[in-house]
């Protein structure tokens, strides 16, 4: 992985690096560059009045130019100055991975750019949305801290199997919509799959609810007052259509509170309402309010039940500090939290560092241990020191018996113990039997070998993923749906060459015969409004009134004949006449 000499990227963990793809800057055609340039010019012309104030200077701070698609080296040279980095990825990545990148202060940027026909808005993430939307406001420290904090909270969120199915369906549909050769049957089938999943999601998971808060703030947030809000959400900042439409009075503006979790969203259409925060400090306050409801802060039976229901790798943290990572299953009395158990590879850790001899190799088939207070000790077992252990008969090399108030009994020869920061975290036994005295259920038998018992009266935290991802979780599931970069046809290559010629004329300030150029390419230009807009700008810059008038007539005629792109063309004409853009951004 290219780290672009950015220390932030050099410290990125291995399990996240697998999502990073090369930018391959040379693949961007002159048409792609023209799309970037049009959107950025349009953004400046409009957003300078409605975007939150750091947006415009933030473009330069993030290493962005109005003239060309950003390359990752330039962006990282700039972002590293404020402690952030950027990498390119293949479209949508799983929400859990996205949150982790954010927690590491890394912006994930889709390497692709939207097609010209989707210039106003694309349902797929692209380099316009990710870089011109997210990056400019990173320079605002309070907001950057909020982003990182959101990532930290989000990376702990519990998610369901349905969440991943939904992610896969959305990713697949977004890829199809950006394909030039997609058929209506393919789109209909993908939409059907997505709708079916959405209709059968059940109760939204922590990740689903948290994603809503992310959507209504980071992606589509407004800041200020209800009467006079400004845009800071990346989805709005990168959509030249919705950034204007959203400010209309028919789009309700609601005060941002935790109640925003009740509002689901649709990535394929403009948003029916938006939320306004008075300031960035308020965003963190609402996020904390939601985090207090999450299992990583609540723990207990609530958290363990969520872990069991998720079917994913999760971590339960005992009050001693011991972390148990694995796939949890129902164990013990389902009415109370007296025992936790996992199935399959499991690891034990403390402070997110796997304990020696307690990884997946040592616990390949699962792990189980009681939770709760013991009988016969004045203090909790986790608070006992060696002398306290001796008083209750826990002596290394001798048979011992521990009776829990829940009715679970552990009986065996004590062979080892682990303390950490004065807390007893783990006891190990040979010849051990673990059973529920009341029900007679056996949890462990001597023939199964060594028994490792986690110590702790409570489960204080439960969260998604492994404690030590470097050893337990080197890989996160990557989508089977890949972005398809189809080879350009001869006609597409010819059109790209025309855009490249126009770009060279502008960059090198070449003098051309506009009338001759128009005559030579009129058939193609009559079907390509963006090329005409760029030519109009050149003609106006060179003070060629006659050529500018002819080009503008061609654009107006094209606008009248194709209502769907009428606004784009009219905005393009205004951009070509707007000298203030050149003064500010060149």
Q: Express each pLDDT in 250-263 by its tens digit.
A: 999 999 999 999 99
CATH level 2 (architecture), domain 7-159+205-287? Orthogonal Bundle (1.10)
Question: What sections of 155-240 are H helices per DSSP?
Answer: 161-178, 184-199, 206-214, 234-237
Residue 332's pLDDT is: 78
Q: What is the DSSP string of 319-378?
A: TTSEEEEEEEE--S-TTS-SEEEEEEEEEEEETTEEPTT-STTTSSS--EEE-S-BSS-S
> Whole-angstrom Cα distance, residue 219 to residue 207?
16
121 is written with which tokens?
């808005």
Q: What does pLDDT average to in each consecutive run of 10 residues of the chain (586 residues)?
A: 96 91 94 94 83 80 90 94 94 85 95 86 78 87 95 92 77 75 86 81 86 95 95 86 86 97 86 96 97 97 94 95 96 88 96 95 96 91 94 94 96 96 96 94 95 97 94 61 58 89 91 92 93 95 94 95 92 85 48
> Whole-angstrom Cα distance, residue 545 to residue 525?
19
- CA torsion 382-386-389-391 (nearest 10°) is -140
Residue 132's pLDDT is: 85
Q: Express each pLDDT in 74-127 by its tens digit.
A: 999 999 999 999 999 987 788 888 899 999 999 999 898 988 888 877 667 789
* CA nearest to 372, candidates 332, 343, 412: 332
C-alpha to C-alpha distances, 557 to 531, 536, 561, nearest whole angstrom: 15, 14, 6
Residue 495's pLDDT is: 92
C-alpha to C-alpha distances, 59 to 135, 180, 565, nearest whole angstrom: 7, 31, 27
CB 158 within 8 A of CB 85: no
12 is written with which tokens?
């990125």
CB 303 within 8 A of CB 316: yes
Strand partners, 424: 419
SS3 533: helix
C-alpha to C-alpha distances, 341 to 198, 321, 346, 418, nearest whole angstrom: 31, 17, 10, 20
C-alpha to C-alpha distances, 448 to 87, 372, 431, nearest whole angstrom: 47, 24, 9
Strand partners, 442: 435
Gyration radius from the chain CA atoms: 29
- CA torsion 540-545-551-555 (nearest 10°) is 80
pTM over 0.85: yes
Residue 586's pLDDT is: 38
Contacts of 480 (CB under 8 A, 6+ apart): 168
> Whole-angstrom Cα distance, residue 384 to residue 162?
43
Ramachandran angles phi, psi of 237, nearest 5°: -65, -25
C-alpha to C-alpha distances, 321 to 329, 367, 460, nearest whole angstrom: 21, 17, 9
């Amino acid at each position: 992985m290219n780290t672009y000499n950015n220390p932030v990227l050099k410290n990125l963990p291995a399990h996240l690096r697998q999502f990073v793809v090369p930018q391959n800057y040379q693949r961007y055609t002159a048409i792609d560059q023209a799309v970037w340039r049009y959107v950025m010019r349009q953004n400046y012309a409009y957003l300078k009045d409605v975007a939150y104030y750091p947006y415009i200077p933030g473009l330069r701070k993030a290493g962005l130019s109005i003239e060309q698609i950003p390359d990752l080296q330039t962006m990282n040279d700039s972002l590293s100055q404020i402690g952030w980095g950027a990498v390119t990825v293949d479209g949508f990545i799983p929400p859990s991975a996205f949150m982790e990148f954010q927690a590491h202060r890394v912006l994930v940027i889709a390497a692709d750019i939207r097609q010209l026909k989707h210039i106003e808005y694309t349902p797929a993430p692209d380099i316009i949305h990710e870089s011109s939307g997210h990056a400019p406001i990173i320079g605002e420290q309070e907001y950057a801290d909020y982003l990182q904090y959101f990532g930290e909270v989000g990376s702990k969120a519990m998610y369901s199997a349905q969440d991943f199915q939904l992610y896969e369906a959305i990713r697949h549909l977004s890829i199809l919509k950006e394909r030039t050769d997609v058929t209506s049957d393919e789109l209909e089938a993908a939409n059907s799959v997505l709708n079916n999943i959405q209709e059968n999601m059940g109760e939204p998971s922590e990740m689903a609810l948290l994603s809503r808060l992310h959507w209504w703030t980071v992606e589509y947030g407004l800041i200020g007052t209800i009467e006079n809000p400004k845009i800071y959400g990346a989805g709005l900042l990168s959509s030249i259509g919705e950034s204007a439409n959203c400010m209309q009075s028919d789009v309700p503006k609601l005060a941002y509170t935790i109640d925003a979790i009740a509002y689901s969203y649709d990535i394929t259409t403009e948003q029916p309402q938006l939320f306004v925060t008075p300031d960035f400090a308020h965003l963190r306050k609402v996020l904390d309010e939601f985090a207090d409801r999450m299992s990583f802060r609540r723990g207990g039976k609530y958290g363990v039940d969520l872990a069991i229901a998720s079917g994913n790798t999760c971590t339960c943290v005992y009050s001693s500090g011991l972390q148990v990572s694995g796939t949890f299953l129902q164990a013990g009395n389902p009415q109370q939290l007296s025992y936790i158990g996992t199935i399959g590879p499991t690891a034990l850790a403390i402070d997110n560092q796997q304990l020696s001899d307690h990884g997946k190799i040592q616990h390949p088939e699962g792990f189980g241990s009681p939770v709760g207070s013991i009988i016969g000790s004045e203090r909790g077992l986790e608070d006992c020191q060696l002398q306290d252990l001796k008083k209750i008969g826990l002596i290394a090399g001798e048979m011992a018996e521990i009776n829990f108030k829940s009715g679970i009994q552990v009986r065996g020869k004590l062979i080892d113990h682990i303390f950490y920061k004065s807390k007893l975290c783990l006891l190990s036994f040979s010849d051990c039997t673990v059973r529920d005295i009341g029900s007679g259920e056996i949890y462990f038998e001597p023939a199964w070998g060594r028994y490792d018992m986690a110590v702790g009266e409570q489960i204080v935290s439960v969260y998604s993923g492994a404690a030590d991802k470097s050893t337990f979780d080197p890989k996160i599931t990557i989508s089977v749906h890949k972005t398809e970069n189809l080879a350009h046809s001869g006609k597409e290559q010819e059109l790209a060459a025309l855009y490249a010629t126009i770009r060279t004329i502008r960059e090198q300030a070449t003098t051309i015969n506009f009338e001759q150029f128009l005559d030579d390419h009129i058939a193609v230009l009559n079907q390509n409004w963006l090329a005409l807009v760029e030519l109009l700008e050149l003609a106006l810059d060179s003070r060629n009134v006659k050529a500018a008038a002819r080009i503008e007539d061609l654009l107006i005629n094209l606008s009248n004949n194709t209502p769907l792109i009428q606004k784009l063309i009219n905005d393009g004409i205004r951009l070509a006449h707007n000298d203030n853009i050149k003064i500010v951004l060149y």
